[in-house]
């Protein structure tokens, strides 16, 4: 099982820069690379990655996307003097050439292809290419927006050819529209392109009509181009996560890609002079984490923009940390998307509904009169870059905690052997008198005579102590009585001072956990049975969900439409995922919910499984120990009418309180 992360970096790509005065291009500086790399060093991330050398892309590779004439022009800049370079640059929009531009552009593209090869061959699981020049604005015969060759577009064509891929997802989280990528794949259904971008109704660069939400692709590619224009600056963590839940992720999972390429621009992060958005560095951890279950984990991050050096470097570091499988820091800020973001989300969902099954369940409607239209852009509030530096200095200290030295605590019956669990810490001690006393309220007399149960619960309580004090990243309990262990676990973590515990119960439990009515627990039950009565209005919810017969899955719909937005709204500090033998969803679905919930509560997660559920144990421990689930979900199977109806009813109740559930502006 590979679990390594590749890092592509070569300081030779710093050997070009702007040689004349041009305020528009002045932000694209060589230090963008060295600052990012230094920060990775600072966090000791470089040595944890597999460092791969760059190489020059060949002419054949370049012309997978670019015209031979354009290649000739770029090549000719090698021998130009400054005046000629300046003249050539002026033939394009927001572009500049240097004598070394051609060489660096070849390394930048070649480095990208090295990453694709490493990931596709299985040498590494995922990786990041720290490169310049960036690529996503460049077009068949044009340099544009600091981009020379379209690294990501060539990488997609290259991967299609070399590895015979049918479906590639490109996620462009740079704050600018990658119009170059859109043009190249507009009519190609094998490449799903998603871009969010500062747009302001077209008043922001590159000021294109075709950057709006209604450019959905052409011909056979109709439905495979997703634009999410931001019509206001200041979009933040909640807006980005909402865009992922309500637009990108359902479509991406339905598309079921074989490879994911990210146009990873960090000008969408806080402090960037171009983007003027507010997303903090850990947001990029979450975005990365949410993409990791796709394509069996084959995820390539390719640097695009990012012009606030500190913000760029921190966000790059958060991305690489997450690729390596470190716990994802809690997302800061209010988890309520803004009105303008919801307008954009609503419209993007509406125009794509005819092409994607998973969008057909909800009512979608077009918002014709967008609230911010006609308003002039907010008065330019000049944010001093150094204020952001100071903010980031303290912010990162606040959100980053040392990674627990134990990865996974295992509570298993005596003599249990399980390959995935080899080498992780196994709890040995049994239930002490005091502990039994504290947990006693959920035991009955019969339980107290059940020695194997007492031993299991005793070990679990020790493991929970380690979990709450963050000595262990997560925990898996193989229990002789999962339902009772779950009830004890909830009680114990509250006793240890947990403030917000998100409990997810898959299947039916005999012992009903005792819940407090103080907001300290949020209970979600996913079961095939009919809905019991709700007692604890906004802190208790039941989802009727059944796996449908046939190849494929529908569970991701419930995840992105309901479970994850609920969890992100609640912002738990601990998660309990309990599975019973009597469950209505498949093992893959359990693996997926397990993986995705790891993005919350800094990974403080306990999984409770019946000890005889061998397959579930295998899958869960793989996710917990290796932070991976090389899953392939197959096609999207729409859920039954009855399940959909139930989900809608739950949504109606819950979304008044939990704001990330909302995907309509009005
Ligand atoms: N004030 C990349 O991020 N200038 N390119 C826009 C608006 C061009 C950005 C001017 C920005 C190009 C890769
Ligand atoms: Zn950009």
pLDDT digits (tens, 9 = 90+) for 486-513: 999 999 999 999 999 999 999 988 888 8
Distance of CA 218 to the CA centre of its chain: 28
Q: With H, G, I as helix, E, B as strand and everything else as coil, classify residue 579.
A: strand
Is residue 600 scored above 90 in pLDDT? yes
Predicted pLDDT at 425: 66
Is residue 363 scored above 90 in pLDDT? no
**pLDDT per position as a tens digit, 109-146:** 999 999 999 999 999 999 999 999 999 999 999 999 99
How many other CB atoms are found less than 10 A from the CB of residue 43?
Answer: 18
**pLDDT per position as a tens digit, 59-107:** 999 999 999 999 999 999 999 999 999 999 999 999 999 999 999 999 9
Residue 89 structural domain: 38-399
State whether 306 and 446 are in the same domain. no
Is residue 379 scored above 60 in pLDDT? no
Distance (Å) from CA 145 to ligand 1 centroid: 5
Mean pLDDT of the chain: 92
Strand order in the sheet with 540-544: 425-426, 406-411, 472-479, 605-610, 574-579, 501-506, 521-527, 540-544
Q: What is the pTM of this model?
A: 0.96
Residues with CB under 6 A from ligand 1: 24, 94, 134, 137, 145-147, 174, 176, 205, 265, 267, 274, 304-305
416-427 average pLDDT score: 63
State whether 394 and 420 are in the same domain. no
From 335, 369, 399, the end of a domain falls on: 399
State whether 143 and 111 are in the same domain. yes
Name residue, tokens 């009512």.
Answer: 363
**Atom nearest to 306 CA in ligand 1:** 3
The answer to whether residue 6 sits within a structural domain is no
528-546 average pLDDT score: 82
Q: How far is CA 99 from CA 13, 86, 401, 650, in A?
A: 12, 11, 44, 61
State whether 644 and 517 are in the same domain. yes
How many other CB atoms are found less than 10 A from the CB of residue 290?
Answer: 23
State whether 391 and 480 are in the same domain. no
For residue 417, give every residue at least 6 positions away whose Cβ sits within 8 Å of its Cβ, in sequence order, or none: none
Dihedral angle over CA of 234, 240, 242, 247, nearest 10: 120
Name residue, tokens 């969010």.
Answer: 196
Query: Count of residues for the chain?
Result: 666
Q: What domain count does the chain have?
A: 2
Predicted pLDDT at 133: 98
Higher per-residue pLDDT: 302 or 407: 302
Domain CATH number, residue 69: 3.40.800.20
Of residues 572, 591, 584, the one with CA closest to residue 523: 572
Angle at 26 between CA 21 and CA 29, to 5 degrees: 130
382-389 average pLDDT score: 84
Q: What is the residue with the minimal CA distance to atom 5 of ligand 1?
A: 145
The answer to whether residue 8 sits within a structural domain is no
Q: How far apart are CA 555 and CA 633, in angstroms?
A: 10
State whether 472 and 575 are in the same domain. yes
Q: How far apart are CA 297 and CA 595, in angstroms?
A: 11
Q: How far apart are CA 97 and CA 76, in angstroms?
A: 10
Question: Phi then psi for 287, rounded to 5 degrees?
Answer: -60, -45
**pLDDT per position as a tens digit, 228-244:** 999 999 999 999 999 99
Q: Is the Cα torsion angle 26, 27, 33, 37 positive or negative in sign?
A: positive
Which tokens in the block code for residue 148? 């020379």
pLDDT band at 44 (very low <50, low <70, confident <90, very high): very high
The answer to whether residue 585 sits within a structural domain is yes
State whether 433 and 517 are in the same domain. yes
**Residue among 18, 108, 145 to mutate when testing ligand 1 (max atoms within 8 A of CB):** 145
Predicted pLDDT at 550: 78
The answer to whether residue 26 sits within a structural domain is no
Which active-site residues does the annotation give? 137
Which tokens in the block code for residue 522? 């949020």
Distance (Å) from CA 122 to ligand 1 centroid: 35
Q: Where are the alpha helices (DSSP H) in 469-586?
A: 482-495, 555-558, 564-570
State whether 178 and 222 are in the same domain. yes
Q: What is the residue with the minimal CA distance to atom 12 of ligand 1?
A: 145
Q: How far apart are CA 371 and CA 373, in angstroms?
A: 6
State whether 390 and 426 are in the same domain. no
**Residue among 24, 25, 130, 132 to mutate when testing ligand 1 (max atoms within 8 A of CB):** 24
Between 13-22, 418-427, 544-553, the lowest mean confidence (pLDDT) is in 418-427
State whether 358 and 439 are in the same domain. no
From 399, 434, 457, the end of a domain falls on: 399
pLDDT band at 424 (very low <50, low <70, confident <90, very high): low
């Amino acid at each position: 099982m590979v679990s390594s992360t590749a890092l592509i970096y070569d300081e030779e790509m710093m050997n070009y820069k702007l040689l004349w005065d041009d305020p528009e291009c002045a932000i694209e500086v060589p230090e963008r690379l060295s600052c990012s790399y230094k920060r990775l060093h600072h966090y000791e991330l470089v040595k944890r990655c597999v460092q791969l050398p760059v190489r020059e892309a060949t002419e054949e590779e370049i012309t997978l996307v670019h015209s031979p004439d354009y290649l000739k022009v770029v090549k000719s800049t090698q021998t130009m003097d400054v005046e000629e370079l300046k003249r050539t640059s002026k033939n394009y929009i927001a572009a500049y050439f240097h004598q070394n531009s051609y060489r660096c552009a070849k390394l930048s593209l070649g480095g990208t292809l090295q990453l694709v090869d490493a990931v596709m061959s299985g040498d590494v699981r995922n990786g990041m290419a720290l490169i310049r020049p960036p690529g996503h604005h460049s077009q068949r015969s044009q340099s544009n927006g600091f981009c020379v060759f379209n690294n990501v577009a060539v990488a997609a064509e290259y991967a299609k050819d070399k590895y015979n891929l049918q479906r590639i997802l490109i996620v462009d989280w740079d704050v600018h529209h990658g119009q170059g990528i859109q043009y190249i794949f507009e009519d190609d259904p094998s490449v799903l392109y998603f871009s969010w971008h500062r747009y302001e109704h077209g008043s922001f660069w590159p000021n294109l009509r075709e950057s709006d939400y209604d450019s959905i692709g052409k011909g056979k590619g109709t439905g495979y181009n997703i634009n999410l224009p931001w019509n206001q600056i200041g979009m933040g963590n909640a807006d980005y996560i909402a865009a992922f839940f309500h637009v990108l992720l359902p479509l991406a999972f339905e598309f079921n890609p074989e490879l994911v390429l990210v146009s990873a621009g960090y000008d969408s992060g806080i402090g960037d002079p171009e983007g003027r958005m507010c997303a903090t560095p850990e947001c990029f951890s979450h975005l990365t984490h949410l993409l990791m279950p796709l394509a069996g984990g084959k995820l390539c991050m390719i640097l695009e923009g990012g012009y606030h050096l500190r913000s760029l470097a921190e966000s790059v570091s958060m991305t690489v940390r997450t690729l390596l499988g470190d716990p994802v820091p809690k997302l800061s800020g209010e988890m309520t998307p803004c009105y303008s973001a919801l307008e954009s989300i609503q419209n993007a969902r509406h125009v794509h509904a005819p092409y994607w099954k998973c969008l057909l369940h909800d009512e979608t409607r077009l918002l014709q009169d967008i609230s911010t239209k006609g308003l002039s852009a907010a008065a330019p509030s000049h944010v001093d870059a150094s204020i952001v530096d100071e903010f980031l200095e303290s912010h990162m200290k606040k959100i980053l905690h040392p990674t627990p030295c134990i990865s996974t605590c295992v509570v298993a019956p005596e003599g249990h052997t399980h390959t995935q669990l080899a080498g992780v810490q196994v709890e040995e001690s049994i239930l002490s008198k005091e502990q039994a006393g504290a947990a006693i309220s959920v035991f009955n007399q019969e339980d107290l005579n059940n020695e194997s149960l007492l031993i299991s619960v005793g070990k679990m309580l020790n493991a929970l102590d380690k979990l709450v004090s963050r000595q262990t990243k997560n925990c898996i309990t193989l229990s002789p009585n999962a339902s009772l262990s779950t009830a004890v676990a909830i009680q114990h973590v509250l006793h240890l001072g947990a403030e917000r515990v998100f409990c997810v119960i898959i299947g039916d439990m005999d012992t009903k956990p005792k819940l407090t009515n103080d907001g300290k627990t949020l209970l979600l039950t996913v079961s095939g049975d009919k809905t019991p009565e709700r007692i604890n209005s906004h802190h208790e919810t039941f989802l009727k969900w059944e796996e449908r017969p046939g190849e494929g899955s529908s569970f991701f719909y419930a995840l992105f439409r309901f479970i994850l937005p609920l969890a992100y709204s609640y912002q738990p500090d601990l998660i309990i995922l309990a599975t019973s033998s009597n469950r209505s969803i498949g093992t893959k679905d359990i693996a997926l919910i397990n993986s995705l919930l790891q993005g919350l509560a800094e990974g403080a997660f306990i999984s409770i499984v019946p000890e005889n559920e061998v397959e579930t144990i295998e899958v869960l421990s793989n996710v917990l120990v290796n932070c991976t689930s090389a899953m392939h979900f197959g096609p999207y199977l729409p859920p039954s009418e009855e399940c959909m109806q139930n989900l809608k009813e739950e949504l109606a109740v819950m979304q008044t309180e939990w704001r990330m559930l909302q995907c309509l502006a009005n």
